[in-house]
Structure 1
Amino acid sequence: MYALPTIPPLGGTPLLFLLAQAGVLLLAAVLLGRLAMRFNFPAIVGELLAGVLLGPSLLGHAAPAAYQWLFPQTGAQFHLLDAVGQIGVVLLVAITGASLDLGLIRRRRGMAVRVSLPGFLIPLGLGVTVGLLLPGSFLVDNADRPAFALFIGVAMSVSAIPVIAKTLMDLRLLHRNIGQLILMAGTVDDLLGWLGLSVVTAVATTGLRAGGLAYPVVALVGVVLGAIVLGRPLVRRVMRVAARQEGSGTVVAATAVLVLLCAAATQALHLEAIFGALIAGILVSSAGPEIVARLAPLRLLVTAVLAPLFFATAGLRMDLSRLADPMVLGVALLLLLIAVVGKFSGAFVGASISGLNRWEAIALGAGMNARGVVEVVVAMVGVQLGILSTTMYTTIVLIAIVTSLMSPPILRFSMSRLGVTADEELRLRSYGEPAPVEVPAIPPA
């Protein structure tokens, strides 16, 4: 009888380094994340900064021996840490999908589309243009230029629902009319961004040639139709059976299994694992709010442990010393300008079409400009696909940090210029929130 070779379990030095790396990164991420929140910034800023401080940007220059000891530059060792982070980001995207209020989008889909599409398409077009014109030194060797340009366009056009929602909650704007509109527009942009990322992934693997672009489109349509026709009734039945069990354990386990299998399926189709995770999260949300409520233990584990570890790992790949090169710094500033101007100009176009005033347009642009978690995930995918160099990866993650920092103060200032309407006051009372301090409203231009 043929005997299969015995593979020894992970242990010894590789396990030691994995545990030490995860422990140090998580400690730094939690501490710096809490520090960022004390200054009214999203926790992701501190979590990314943890990786930056422990990575080549600071520790690698200040104490190279300590950096090399803690993070030995071997692919196998780094991939162990990456694997842990990938599980975290897949579950994080699924939790985000389960939190999307698709019913709100369906009820007000006209305004959501009018506001969100310009904010997605304008930075997309600007990003693609810049990606086609950048010098070849910014591309990875043998990288496909059209795939690179498409990727830059998608990276410039995304928004981040987790950061947007947290910012709106922290500023007590979630139940204001403009807060609801920001959330809807951001949700549409988020969905378009994941779809665009799946297309870029397929183009990067199959090539932009005759018939090459047809595959991702057909595969995307097939996945979405399969999720609606087959996935939704199946997931609802599975979740209701799981919900009959006492406690949340069975629901959490069933959700985790669903998310991992859906992520594996879309990865097998070259559409990127996080797209499958997003679809899985949306399917779980269709089972009802009582099911989503029972995911609280999974949400806590992901947001408190796995997500901070992933963001710290993402920050570890940044090398801010690359920005010392004037050309690199110039490109970084150009892309940041495109990202910000693209979102705000798109918001103004959408606001004017929808009859909103200038302060509402500024608030809309500020909310949709926050890229946070989604931008970081997109950047990590670019590295995995071999599209992004360390220089471009650092630039894109830097844009995620800067735009997330910009959003709260601009949003707070612009919303202070908007009076509270009667229906907003009623909604705020129903949620037990105090009305904002009134500031004399400035007439629309």
Structure 2
Amino acid sequence: MKSLAQHSDLLIAIVMADIAIVLLVGAVLSRLIRRLRQPPVIGEIIAGIALGPSLLGLLPGDLTGRVFPTEARPYLTAIAQVGLLVFMFGIGWEFDKRLLKGRRGAAGAVSLGSIALAFGLGIALATMLYSHHDTVKGEHTSFTAFALFIGAAMSITAFPVLARMLTEHRMMGTRVGALALASAAIDDVMAWCLLALTAAIVTAGGASGDMAQIGILSAIYVALMALIVRPLLAHLTRRMVTDRVPPLYVIIIVAGLFLSSYGTTWIGIHSIFGAFAFGFVMPREPFDALAEGIKRPFDGISMVLLPVFFIVTGLNVDISSISGRGIVELLAILLVACAGKLIGAAIPGKLTGLPWREVGTLGLLMNTRGLTELIILNVGVSLGVLDGQMFTMMVVMALVTTALAGPLLPNAPASPDELADRRAARSTEPQAA
């Protein structure tokens, strides 16, 4: 009897069915989770974990293996990678220097404080965890690689999730909301640079010659993006984009995105950095045309393909494997993750003049990790730095730290315009007899 891999049509059909299952389960859980004042990404992450060995796999009949057979997983991984690269392009493009206007000092202090303390505590935690997680799939992992990666993973703040939370809680126009968003923007750039350095060190394997080569190639890449690609994109945008984006322009951007991702992969610092960098150097003007013709379609692609990334992640998460010492380690990870961001953001926030109530809100906002953390953790798996149990515990940490913010954040008072709209709506309602 032929294996499933030999029935290519059937295998592709299974992959399509898997995507449909992931989308539907994610949509249902996202709607349910919103009632708990949580961002939709929490529901999608839970969906990915639930469809893996943590829940579905516990049922009789190896349902996870049947629904997501081993032969289909490379296809799902490739599809998820496309969604991930498009998403990272969007993060780079959304970085707006205007966020920092009038807030450079305060945002820089909050970002640096939260990263420095989180990174330092992560390194300290790594010294305690390393001896139990120093072997990944039979290969020894160096302490330097493990410690740097844990530190970098603790340092991240999820800019997209944060922006969504601020919008839903009507905090975008508040002082603490604006400061948190500006700090998270700086935080993201610094954390990605830190992770790129970590990836380069891991890829070089400690060899000074390889590390030097990766460093030189990375510097050349950055120079090319800044001195050639950015001006070229600006020129093409001026020539081709007016009030709408032509199809040829979209093709050029998509091709550039994937070529940039290939370039950073070839250098040795992972494809997501190429996608982020290409989005970062992408022009922002004319904003309305680019938002409608590039950003909005790309967001649609991400909305469909990123849930596949969650199931690819969930298939590697087995919460049932955490017991005994693992529970103690998980609690330590959660403590370090929360303390690093809450205290690291609170101290500079207070020094900039925020009252204690807003200081606590700032710390909660900077502690959200969400999807961005999952991206980093998957990089750790692909680099051979995290074993299965460590990966599972870090995913749980990402889920908990993101979920903490929603119920604890205050809703900003409605604006005068919103209050006027509500009064007008009430005045037009039919009076009870």
Q: TM-score, normalised by structure 2?
A: 0.88
Deviations 1:90-110 (A, max 9, x none): 101111221121232265322
1:79 equivalent to 2:77? Answer no
Contact 1:252 / 1:298 at 8 angstroms: preserved in 2? no
Q: How far apart, in 2, do the equivalents of 1:54 and 1:346 lie? A: 35
The residue aligned with 1:443 is none
The residue aligned with 1:32 is 29
Q: Which amino acid aligns with 1:372?
A: G
Q: Deviation at 1:198?
A: 0.9
The residue aligned with 1:100 is 95
Q: Which runs of 5+ in 2 are unaligned?
A: 421-433
1:18 equivalent to 2:15? Answer yes
Contact 2:237 / 2:283 at 8 angstroms: preserved in 1? no
Q: Which amino acid aligns with 1:22?
A: I
Q: 1:296 to 1:229 in 2, by over 3 A?
A: closer
Q: 1:297 to 1:254 in 2, by over 3 A?
A: farther
Q: Which amino acid aligns with 2:362?
A: L
Q: Deviation at 1:30?
A: 1.9
Deviations 1:387-430 (A, max 9, x none): 11111111111111111111122222xx76xxx8xxxx9xx66x
State the identity %. 30
Deviations 1:123-169 (A, max 9, x none): 10111121133143323131222101111111111000110000000
Q: Deviation at 1:433?
A: 5.2
- Which segment drifts farther, 330-339 or 95-104? 95-104
Matches within 5 A, 1:107-256: 107-139=102-134, 140=136, 141-210=139-208, 213-244=211-242, 249-256=247-254
From 335, 339, 344, the equivalent of 2:337 is: 339
Q: How far apart, in 1, do the equivalents of 2:195 and 2:372 lie? A: 11
Deviations 1:185-228 (A, max 9, x none): 01111111111111111111102344555555544444333322
Q: Which amino acid aligns with 1:24?
A: I
Q: Which amino acid aligns with 2:308?
A: L
Q: How far apart, in 2, do the equivalents of 1:276 and 1:434 lie? A: 45
Q: How far apart, in 1, do the equivalents of 2:268 and 2:130 lie? A: 28
Q: Which runs of 5+ in 1 are unaligned?
A: 1-7, 436-445
Q: How far apart, in 2, do the equivalents of 1:297 and 1:32 lie? A: 24
Q: Deviation at 1:111?
A: 1.8
Q: Deviation at 1:26?
A: 1.8
- Which segment drifts farther, 80-89 or 352-361? 352-361
When the two chains are superposed, the root-mean-square deviation of aligned CA atoms in Å is 2.5
Q: TM-score, normalised by structure 1?
A: 0.86
Q: 1:143 to 1:379 in 2, by over 3 A?
A: same
Matches within 5 A, 1:367-378: 367-378=365-376
User: What is the DSSP-based 3-state SS (H/G/I as helix, E as strand, rest coil) of the residue aligned with 1:57?
Assistant: coil
Q: How far apart, in 1, do the equivalents of 2:349 and 2:402 lie? A: 21
Matched length: 412
Deviations 1:334-391 (A, max 9, x none): 0111000000110122113322222221111111100001100001111111111111
User: What is the DSSP-based 3-state SS (H/G/I as helix, E as strand, rest coil) of the residue aligned with 1:134?
Assistant: helix
Q: How far apart, in 2, do the equivalents of 1:209 and 1:142 lie? A: 15
The residue aligned with 2:45 is 48
